[in-house]
Homo-oligomer: A and B are copies of this chain.
């Protein structure tokens, strides 16, 4: 998995039907790379998230085959710097 930060939301009106309804978030990984992930948790811009990639991301959607290759699986607990 990788650690990434939510930098925005992506909208796609014209899309394949197999893409599940739900939020698609734009993320920036630790190395600066950008990616888009499906978000089942309702994360906000600026939030640090844990992302899984590849076919295991699609496996999260049980009972159907979805073309999703990146999934937010957790919000990362951040303690420290900003709260002290």
Please report the total number of A residues contacting B with Cβ < 8 Å. 46
- Residues from chain B with Cβ under 8 Å of A46 in the complex: none
This protein's copies in its complex: 5
Taken together as a complex, chains A and B put the C-alpha atoms of A14 and B1 apart, in Å, by 16
Q: Is the CB of A67 within 8 A of B52?
A: yes
Decide yes or no whether A31 CB sits under 8 A from chain B: yes
Q: Kindly list the 7 A-B residue pairs having the minimum CB-CB distance in the complex, ordered from nearest.
A: A12-B74, A15-B74, A1-B36, A11-B77, A14-B75, A56-B58, A52-B67
What is A's interface to B at a CB cutoff of 8 Å? Answer: 1-3, 10-16, 18-19, 24, 26, 30-31, 33-37, 40-41, 50, 52-60, 62, 65-71, 73-77
